[in-house]
Structure 1
Amino acid sequence: MPDTNSEQYLLNEQVSFVQHALPGLDAGMYELQVNQQIFQSDGKTPISGEAYSNSYTFAVTADRFSLSSPGSVISSIFPNDNASGEFSNVLPHVVFKKETFPWTRYPTIDEPYTPPQPGKDVDADVPTWLWVLLLDEDDQAAFPALTNSITVCTTGDLFPIAAYSGSKIPANTYSYFYDATDLADLEPGQLTTDTINVVDIPMGLFWQLAPSVEDLELMAHVRVVSLINQPTNGDSNGEPTGSFSIVFGNRLPNTQRKTKAYLVSLEGLEAFLPQANGSIPSNPPATATDTIRLAVLANWTFFSTGQPATFVHTLESLNGCTPGSGVSASNTNIRLPYDGTNKVVAGAFNMGYVPLNETMRTAEKNVAWYRGPLVPYSNAGAAPLKLPITSPDAATVFDPTTGMLDTSYAAAWTIGRMVALQDTSFSTGLYNWKKGLGQQVNNNVENTVMMQHFNVLPPVTLQGARTHTAAPLGSIFKQTVLKLKQ
């Protein structure tokens, strides 16, 4: 039972959803203007010619067309790379370690919100600049120009040739700098020779799949979750909770299709994004026969098997039953096949037992039976174990029909102990109880030693003897010193 009085228990169950986490300064160039004016002693009259002014230019850098260190930015992806399962009802997404990352840039041309006063929050929804794009072979069949493959190029290949003569961008292809006339849109630290990954999408397909700015306002959020008993790879720094930002896609994967997922940038592409009602943008810079080039920050592949991937159908398939046929399988145990003639062994296999190698405490090699804790049949005839069980060996059962040991209960006991010790409230209570019990044993031993060597008895009545009352602690020490001096 969890300790309901413990805040730790509530912390383990806590998940908080946050609208967004805006950075203090967005990525880009800034100019700081500093003015100083000296006044007369009255504090109102300025001194002529004593005004000073200076300006400073600085930049806030952040990942733009690639991730400089993917491991420090991305915490996880879903579905996992090369995963196979029932993903047709989930939106693929990316979890970021940096909670502000989805809002360091924007898909709009202008800043999508008015910066608030210091100490105030932004209540309006803020669109993210990231998008999880999904493509499969059906898209390639509908748009033969689509290759679904990553192209390695440079940042310079995002510019039109009119802005950068070294650009190798294909004809009728648009990208982030579609209206640039020079390289002024590059930020400090960015070079035209920087290697990036891109994917070229036919504009007609892009308008079918791309989210609107209004959609992007709802496709990212922050989650504050408990890190207690969670594998955080050392990123928690000992903190009980952690904040992660999540960016979702807007398309469900097709079943029985190999899907490719791309985390792409939509920075500044507002003019190409569909309208809120899903229709193509008004007065777009490109036509449906053109192509748009997107920078790929991460990509992975997975396969959606559809409904047959459910546990029930998988179990039926393992037992020779056609999924969805309505015919019950003769045996629903997950078991190993056995083609031998030994009926005892065949019965054990049909009940889900497996023979496993075992190393005894005496270093001897042995073979023992094992099965999982759940069985789809009555087990009322099994011999009950004697409780309490002090060790896994005490839960080991000898099977006289095969002359082998059954370690199923021993394994279940070990699993139960591990699960119990994982509960902080239980493990802490157990430690305190053992510590108190040890202290009690030490006190009893000390009392016995004092009684035997210094004639200091605890407050108990011994049969055939008079009642002794334990002396005060200070008196005991005095008597002990006197005895040692004698």
Structure 2
Amino acid sequence: MTTHPTEQSAPADDTPATSVTSVTFHDHLLPGIEAGRYRITVDQQLPAEHLPGARLDPVAQIVGVRASQFRLDPSWVHAVYPAAHSQGPFHGLLPHITLNPASLPWEREPFTGSIRNPARAPWTALLLFGEGELPGDPNALGATASVTVRALLDGDAAVSGPALDRDAVDPTLLDTPCRVVDVPQALLAQLLPEPSDLAFLAHVRSGGEDAAPADGQSSRPGRDARAVITTARFPDADRGRYVAHLVSLEGHTPPGPQAGGKPVRLVSLHSWTFTSCAASGDGFGRLAGRFAPGNGEHSAAPLRPAPAAGAGLPDELGTLLEQGMVPMTHITDSGERALAWYSGPFLPRVAPELPRPADGHFPDADGLLLHEPHTGTFATGYACAWNVGRALALADPGFATTLVRLRHQGRLRRATDRQYATYRRQLFHSSLSAGPAPRAAAPAAAPTPREQFEELLRGDALDALAASFATPDDSEPQPRTVSATPDEPEPHPQAVRATPTTYRLDAPPRSSAPQPEPQQQPPSLSPSPSPSPDAREAAAWLATLRTLSGVPFDYLVPDQRMLPPESLRLFHVDRGWLHALLDGARSLDRHPGADATTDAELDDLLDGQGPVPTAGLLLRSALVPGWPTLRFEAGAASGNAPVEVIRSEALGADVLLMLFDRMPDRLTISEPPQGLHFGVDEEGNVALRSLAPGEVGRPLGRSVPVGADPALTVTTPAGARVLNVGRLAARLAEDVKPGSPLSPAEFAVQLVRAPEQLTLSFEGTKGTTR
């Protein structure tokens, strides 16, 4: 069962409508039945009670509905903010966690059964602790204690644990460990809101970057819905490290204001740490703003090696560096060490076209060692690409086996085709010289081997032979095909007949004399086979390799100085490097003459495997781990078609690679709409947003001072800044919804802080931030 609260659709920001992504907020998503033990009683009675057997005894059955209680699957955590182990100015934001199971916070009841929960408060809460606040984790490193579920249920005299029904717990879980934290009762009373206010700290959100198609029920969360749980505590500007714990409130009683009681043992379902520092540059705005012009090596620029200052290099060497070439040590086959120049697939320029061999494919890496005339050395980039492709192909036994099998099948088809063509030519010429066969010929005493072969071809075996082996000779032009019409005479009895739906046969006319025309050709087959499964599989693997998947990073960026920390670099993709890479992968068991047909088949299939990367960018920044669903929008001034992203993948802890079908003219980097944050602005105010139908989320141009109002932001004796959630909800309702209280979804809309974004223009590398 799902509730249907008023839909709260809030745009991510106040950008033009063409770039707004709709995000929908819901109060909660209730499961059809809550976790617990239930008694099901079935009572059946027939209408005629006076008949024997009309009254049946009731049947009762005890069933248990189970849900997560002591542990949380790590894959259920979609995102946390601030990101784990991050450092930044987070003092104006409320940390939160986003969960994939949208109904998880409402699958159980918080506190004990004696506490009524009319507002549908969640059974989980997000608590934030600073350094020196938790006795078991004084440095806020996320340390927890591990106890078994049995020990948790049995209780500990030194702490106040949850009062849970042992019979309702799955017996198989009793000996499994769970993580717990012991929180001083006075501290918990300061940080945990009132039971009636907990509902405002959890909601369901759908839409955004990965929105599912609408199903026509706008008030019902979609398949992309996720639960969001927010803490009520603000990090301090210079407090240092914090640890956030998603804890279970099931089985507990609301903590009282008195101090000196036993510590409260809470089950920690998930935790992470971060550092709040006002002077840190790890916020999104500061991190992204570095890519704007004027920030030295951080500014967005082409990917090229930069010579050391004052190096005094000759002009020809500086030109090679500007073209993206890096000096490397080259070890020859004889063991000598020499200087060579290496260039990967990513260049700051459009590379000239690489001349191809006559058959279109390089047979080895030696043919790709190019001479660099200015320095008298070799350029080894293409040769390295060939070797990398071959190594990756050999490292994948599935692809290697498929490619070798495909080549053997092609050679078998070619050999069979040659033999069959020879036989057909002999048969054709013999039929022309022998004249028409008599209608009733006397049977031979014994069939000759050739007659047996002819009889085999006339039977069902021809279909199987044709479907498996009939392909045109790859060393000769395609034969001319002539189809017989109904007006033509019956073909010669010795001519081979084939299935008309698969092949068309040149049949010699019925004539008593041979035809002297020199242009007449022997009969031939004109096949139209479809690609084999092996060919499709090999082409798909090669198409993936064409996006440089699996290529070691050192071959993409040969010098780490080309991509310094906190930098964004643009590049063109060298098409010749990709060709060399694929030629190396396709070199397994390849014979240029015998495998021409197979190579042509793979080339045709590769042409239909989507666009080839032409340009891209590399981002090395703390934005990559801190914002896993970072949003990029690439555009081009020329043409109306958008720039297509062919590949977007994190290549390490802090490096992101994106490949495009063409070079973009502008790039917009923004926080993902699904990762909206909550809190106050730089002045400590909550910017009010409209809740009117059709205008939900539109800024109203006025705000409520929260940071400066002691009734709304309480400073606890421990020095924590905690929102008075109930009072803040009532205060916001007076401005945006007079006469009616706010729902959890409406409360979340008011606390939303719009994502920041950076727009870069690559015409002159102008950058703007917002």
Q: What secondary structure sits across from 2:43 in the alignment?
A: strand
Letter in 2 for 1:35: D
Q: What secondary structure sits across from 2:186 in the alignment?
A: helix
1:262 is matched with which residue? 245
Using the size of structure 2 for normalisation, the TM-score is: 0.36
**1:306 and 2:300 correspond:** no
2:108 is matched with which residue? 105
1:70 to 63, 68, 74: 74
The 8 Å contact of residues 262 and 298 in structure 1, kept in 2 or not, is answered as: yes
Q: What secondary structure sits across from 2:197 in the alignment?
A: helix
1:121-200 paired onto structure 2 within 5 Å? 125-139=119-133, 149-159=143-153, 164=154, 169=156, 171-177=157-163, 184=166, 186-189=168-171, 191-200=173-182
The 8 Å contact of residues 229 and 422 in structure 1, kept in 2 or not, is answered as: no
Q: What secondary structure sits across from 1:39 in the alignment?
A: coil
1:54 to 56, 59, 63: 59
Letter in 1 for 2:263: T
1:340 to 282, 296, 310: 310
Q: Deviations over 1:283-310 (max 9, x none)?
A: xxxx534211111111111112225436
> CA offset at residue 92 of structure 1?
1.4
CA distance in 1, matches of 2:573, 2:74: 44
Sort the Cα spacing of 1:273 and 1:22 in 2 relative to 1 into closer, same or farther, 3 A. farther
The 8 Å contact of residues 219 and 247 in structure 1, kept in 2 or not, is answered as: yes
1:2-21 paired onto structure 2 within 5 Å? 13-21=21-29
Q: What secondary structure sits across from 1:52 in the alignment?
A: coil
Q: Deviations over 1:19-43 (max 9, x none)?
A: 1100001011111111111122xxx
CA distance in 2, matches of 1:58, 1:422: 53
> CA offset at residue 109 of structure 1?
2.3
1:420 is matched with which residue? 642
Sort the Cα spacing of 1:315 and 1:100 in 2 relative to 1 into closer, same or farther, 3 A. closer
Letter in 1 for 2:131: E
1:253 to 235, 238, 241: 235
Sort the Cα spacing of 1:392 and 1:48 in 2 relative to 1 into closer, same or farther, 3 A. closer
1:292 is matched with which residue? 264
Q: Deviations over 1:442-461 (max 9, x none)?
A: xxxxxxxxxxxxxxxxxxxx
Q: Deviations over 1:299-331 (max 9, x none)?
A: 111112225436787799999xxxxxxxxxxx6
**1:36 and 2:52 correspond:** no
2:579 is matched with which residue? none
The 8 Å contact of residues 24 and 205 in structure 2, kept in 1 or not, is answered as: yes
Q: Deviations over 1:243-302 (max 9, x none)?
A: 111111111123341111111111132x2335xxxxx28xxxxx5342111111111111
Q: What secondary structure sits across from 1:95 in the alignment?
A: strand
The 8 Å contact of residues 123 and 250 in structure 2, kept in 1 or not, is answered as: yes
Sort the Cα spacing of 1:155 and 1:314 in 2 relative to 1 into closer, same or farther, 3 A. closer
> CA offset at residue 125 of structure 1?
2.9
Letter in 2 for 1:66: R
The 8 Å contact of residues 134 and 260 in structure 1, kept in 2 or not, is answered as: yes
Sort the Cα spacing of 1:332 and 1:148 in 2 relative to 1 into closer, same or farther, 3 A. closer
The root-mean-square deviation of aligned C-alpha atoms, in Å, is 4.9
The 8 Å contact of residues 263 and 298 in structure 1, kept in 2 or not, is answered as: yes
Sort the Cα spacing of 1:243 and 1:34 in 2 relative to 1 into closer, same or farther, 3 A. same
Q: What secondary structure sits across from 2:57 in the alignment?
A: strand
2:86 to 83, 86, 97: 83
Q: What secondary structure sits across from 1:175 in the alignment?
A: coil
CA distance in 2, matches of 1:421, 1:318: 21
CA distance in 2, matches of 1:207, 1:419: 57
Sort the Cα spacing of 1:141 and 1:295 in 2 relative to 1 into closer, same or farther, 3 A. closer
1:388 is matched with which residue? none
The 8 Å contact of residues 134 and 184 in structure 2, kept in 1 or not, is answered as: no
**1:224 and 2:206 correspond:** yes
The 8 Å contact of residues 21 and 99 in structure 1, kept in 2 or not, is answered as: yes
Sort the Cα spacing of 1:63 and 1:314 in 2 relative to 1 into closer, same or farther, 3 A. closer
1:441 is matched with which residue? none
Letter in 2 for 1:149: A
Sort the Cα spacing of 1:81 and 1:59 in 2 relative to 1 into closer, same or farther, 3 A. same
CA distance in 2, matches of 1:259, 1:15: 29
Letter in 2 for 1:209: L
Letter in 1 for 2:37: M
CA distance in 2, matches of 1:410, 1:145: 46
> CA offset at residue 156 of structure 1?
2.3
Q: What secondary structure sits across from 1:37 in the alignment?
A: coil
CA distance in 1, matches of 2:112, 2:43: 30
> CA offset at residue 184 of structure 1?
3.5
Q: Deviations over 1:1-33 (max 9, x none)?
A: xxxxxxxx9897221110110000101111111
2:517 is matched with which residue? none
Consecutive unaligned residues in structure 1, runs of 5 or more: 1-8, 115-123, 231-238, 275-279, 282-286, 320-330, 372-390, 394-408, 424-429, 431-486
Letter in 1 for 2:162: Y
Letter in 2 for 1:264: V
Q: What secondary structure sits across from 1:199 in the alignment?
A: strand
CA distance in 1, matches of 2:92, 2:185: 27
Letter in 1 for 2:146: V
Sort the Cα spacing of 1:195 and 1:267 in 2 relative to 1 into closer, same or farther, 3 A. same
Letter in 2 for 1:53: P
Q: What secondary structure sits across from 2:169 in the alignment?
A: coil
Q: What secondary structure sits across from 1:56 in the alignment?
A: strand
